[in-house]
Structure formats: structure tokens, C-alpha cells
Amino acid sequence: MTDKTVSLPEERRHGSFIKNNLRNYGMLMSLIAIMLFFQVMTGGTLLQPLNLTNLVLQNSYIVIMALGMLLVIVTGHIDLSVGSVAGFVGAVAAVLMVTWKVDYTLAFIACLLLGAAIGAAQGYWVAYFKIPSFIVTLAGMLVFKGLALAVLQGQSLGPFPATFQKLSSGFIPEILPEAGTLHPTSMLIGALLALGLVYASAKGRSREQLHGIEVEPYAFFLGKSILLACAVLYFTYLIASHRGLPNVLVIMTALIALYGFVTRRTVIGRQVYAVGGNAKAASLSGIKTERLTFFTFVNMGVLAALAGLVFAARLNTATPKAGLGFELDVIAACFIGGASAYGGVGRVGGAVVGAMIMGVMNNGMSILGIGIDYQQVIKGLVLLGAVCIDVYNQRR
């Protein structure tokens, strides 16, 4: 092999660059447009600190599950059981902590392991027996909905220990002196995050430049970084002026960062996409497609369990109805976020944005006093519309 240096690809025109990126950022722009729309329509209520904090708390479990669902969808499968699994795990958590008085840390870990076991049980049939995931998880949906009822004997169970409730209703502790209504620790974390993000993208850009790789135009990069930093700062400012950063937001952000990294940068992430893109070609390239599919379901089970715990902690009771219909919001979030129903395509960022679109719409429409009936109609149409636009874009 001759050791040539990488040739510089031809400079692309700015116009085409922006056009390409518009497609990537299309959903993000839709989210911003939807937020602005509701901000105006609700007379500024949407972005009030209290409402924004609630928005985060209300949607955290959807976002958490969307991360796992994205991987499942990327491999070309679906998991309809996540709502029931979340409900069931919440019920088991209540029995452990409330009835049996098990230590909350131990119970928490046991519940995550239970989620993994459930995911493994379903993934086994899908991956190794090639039973369509739609059917396996449809069965799982019924099974775990029933088991949740059985475990709770049809009753609600609560309250949870105070420390466990902190998972959902707690905020990060204040270590800096109070400054009026603003929580300085939260603000500081937000500022550091904004700086970190800008630094990371600047470093990545210069590294690519060093190796002679085509990078985005400087103006574009600068604009993007300023916008990103401002958005993060403004968002933290709003949150910090209520009660600070919710614990669950910290967990969520960490998970988003982790899954973003795994999908984009790791071997296993790359292989998941390859399996979804063309399972036969992936298998003939030495990828253990069955094992990967199996583990995406295990992962989904763990995240569904975590979501179930977060939801139970938020309500402070486990009810037999918990988790009802969650799977629909989670799946919708992934598809709105640009995942392909045929597998192989989909981004973590997209799924998160998709979940936020659903969340903002739920919240905004509730504030506007739109009945639950028409809320569903509108959400359904938005899902169809988003996927239609995506398919149209792909075809061009």
C-alpha cells in the first residue's frame, strides 16, 4: 500500500452546504417553529420557568425510552411493549420499596436488572428465532400489562421513600450562595456545558482542518456555535430561575450524550446501523447480527425500566394504568425525528427532538385548552406529516 496523504476533496459551494444541512436541521427548526408558535399563542406561558421545568419532568421518561427505541428501530425492529414494561417495573418497584421495605438503591438496581431480563426474553425470540418483533412485543405488551395488574392486585401503591422521589421531583443541590431567585449552581453548570460544547466542536473542526478534511464554512460554524451556546444559556437561565436543574434532566442529558457518542463513534454503534441497513451484507462482513439485535432489546428493556422508575417516582405511586400508551409517543418521537421504518437510518438527536416536539405540542395544546380528543388528532397528523416530508426529502 502506498502511503499517500489524503487528497483534499473538491471545495463544495456554500449554497449546497447549507442545503444539505437544512435537511439535517429540518426537524430542529420545526421544533423551534412549534415552540415559537405556542409561545405566542399561549401569551408567553410556554417558556415560563415553572412550565419549562414541568415540560422537562413530563417528558423525561419519553426521551429516555426514545433513546433505546431508536436503536431498536435502526436495526429494523420495533418494540411495542415498552409502555407495559415501564408500568410493570414501576409496580415491582412499589412492591419492593413500599410493601417489602427494600432499600431504595437495591430496589433501583433490581428493577434495572428486571428490565434487562425482560428485554433479553423478548430479544431472544426476535434475534435467534426470527419471530417478527411486532408480534413478540405485542405479546409482551399484553403480558406485562397483565403482570402489572397482578402485582398491584388492581390497586395503586405508594408513597415511595422520600429519597427515591428525588429521582423525579428533586433538583440538584445548591452549593453556591443564593442570588435572588436564580440558582447559581445550575447556571454555572449550564454555562460550563455551553462552553464545553463550543470548545468540543471548535476542537473537532480544527482537527479536521489539520488533516485536510473539508469543514463547514467558518461563518456557518461561528453562527452555529453562537446559536447553540445562546440556546443552552437561555434554557438554563429559565430553568435556573425556577428551582434549578431537575435531577432527571441531568440523568437525561448524560444519557443523550452517551447514546449520541455510542451511535456515532463506536464500533458497536456502527454495526447496529449496518445491521439495519443490510443485515445480509453485515453478516457477510463478519458482524454478529443476531447478537446485536438481541442486545438492542436488552438495552431497550433497561431504559424502559428506568423510565418506569422515573414515572413512578414522579407520581409517587405505582398504578396499574402507568405506562399506558407510552410506546406510541416513544415510537412517534423516533419517526418524527427522522428514523426510517425500514431500518438503518436514524439519529439520537433526531429522536430527542422528536420527543420534544411531541412534548411541546402536548403541553402547548393543554395550556390552550384544546381537548384531549383534538390533541390526539393533531398529534397523529403531525406524525404523518413529518414522515411524509422525510420520505419526500429522501426521494429527491
List residues binding another protein (CB under 8 A).
1-2, 4, 6-7, 9-10, 207-208, 211, 213-214, 265-268, 270-271, 273-274, 277-278, 280-288, 344-345
For residue 301, the minimal CB distance to another protein (Å) is 22
Nearer to another protein, 190 or 276 (CB): 276
For residue 214, the minimal CB distance to another protein (Å) is 7
Task: Determine which helix (DSSP H) or strand (DSSP E) holds 307, and give its type and residue range.
Answer: helix 289-315
Nearer to another protein, 3 or 373 (CB): 3
Nearer to another protein, 105 or 266 (CB): 266
In angstroms, what CA-CA distances link 343 with 202, 251, 346, 347? 32, 27, 8, 12
Neighbours of 24 (CB within 10 A): 12
Rounded CA-CA distance 299/174 in Å is 33
Rounded CA-CA distance 261/257 in Å is 6
Nearer to another protein, 60 or 340 (CB): 340
Rounded CA-CA distance 154/146 in Å is 10
For residue 268, the minimal CB distance to another protein (Å) is 7
For residue 292, the minimal CB distance to another protein (Å) is 12
Q: At what angle do helices 49-74 and 326-336 cross, to 10 degrees?
A: 80
Which residues are CB-neighbours of 297 under 8 A, at least 6 positions away?
72, 77, 79, 119, 120, 122, 123, 126, 127, 133
Nearer to another protein, 101 or 291 (CB): 291
179 beta partners: 182
For residue 75, the minimal CB distance to another protein (Å) is 13
Nearer to another protein, 286 or 369 (CB): 286
Nearer to another protein, 161 or 277 (CB): 277
Rounded CA-CA distance 168/30 in Å is 28
Looking from the CA of 344 toward its CB, the CA atoms found within 13 Å total 10
Counting other chains too, the contacts that 107-110 makes at CB distance below 8 Å and 24 or more residues apart are 107/164, 108/164, 108/309
Looking from the CA of 291 toward its CB, the CA atoms found within 13 Å total 6
Nearer to another protein, 254 or 284 (CB): 284
For residue 274, the minimal CB distance to another protein (Å) is 6
Neighbours of 75 (CB within 10 A): 29
For residue 278, the minimal CB distance to another protein (Å) is 4
For residue 150, the minimal CB distance to another protein (Å) is 39
Q: Are 46 and 239 in contact (CB under 8 A)?
A: no
Nearer to another protein, 5 or 100 (CB): 5
For residue 10, the minimal CB distance to another protein (Å) is 7
Q: What are phi and psi of 246, to 5 degrees?
A: -70, 145
Q: What are phi and psi of 286, to 5 degrees?
A: 90, 10
